[in-house]
Amino acid sequence: MGLDEFEAAIWDATSRTPYCFFVGVAVFRLWRSGAITIKLPIWFIVALMLMVYILPPYPVLHAFEILVLLPVLVLLAANRDPPQRLVPTCVVLGNMSYAIYAIHYPIIAAFDFAMARLVWPAGLQHSLIAEQLPSLLPWIVMFTVVGIAFLLDRYFDTPLRRRLTRG
């Protein structure tokens, strides 16, 4: 990451973080007040969420997703209860969510570093694995992030929260 990219990332983070925090507080207050009671089918909410990740990254569309669509999706999803058989899975994913948030960027940066410094300079870009890597890498990163988040939640965060709440 060059200096210009780093500066852009800092400006992006310093503008997005307060916005996301205050929008999150507003969405929570709206949800808690019961002012918004729209109950869309879960498959529709999931389809909208998948659309966010499938659409090409145009700057105006990306801004609309961040500023409008994602907060609305969170509000719509908060108005639905998961099917009873999915409640344990939702609890585990909810517990892991902060760990995922906290570790996803360092893990992505580590994979970027490994690709830039180890794979391409070693002349492996013409190997079979390097040809398949662009399509596999997002899946590898995702499973790595989720796996590490699960371990952090299970062996660090949950025991620490238990110990702190015991007094």
Per residue in 94-148, pLDDT (tens digit) is: 899 989 988 988 898 888 887 777 666 655 555 555 566 667 788 888 999 999 9
Residue 166, class by beta-carbon neighbours within 10 Å (0-12 exposed, 13-18 middle, 19+ buried)?
A: exposed
Residues 13 and 36 in one domain: yes
Per residue in 25-72, pLDDT (tens digit) is: 999 998 899 888 888 888 888 898 888 878 777 778 878 888 888 898
Write b or e for each residue in 98-132: b if 16 or more Cβ atoms lie within 10 A of its Cβ, otherwise e. ebbeebbeebeeebeeebeeeeeeeeeeeeeeeee
Paired tokens of 157? 């965060």
Residues 18 and 42 in one domain: yes
Domain boundary among 62, 80, 98: 80
Residues 33 and 102 in one domain: no
Residues 49 and 87 in one domain: no
Closest of 50, 51, 160, 44 to residue 99, by C-alpha: 160
Which residues constitute the domain of residue 155? 83-167
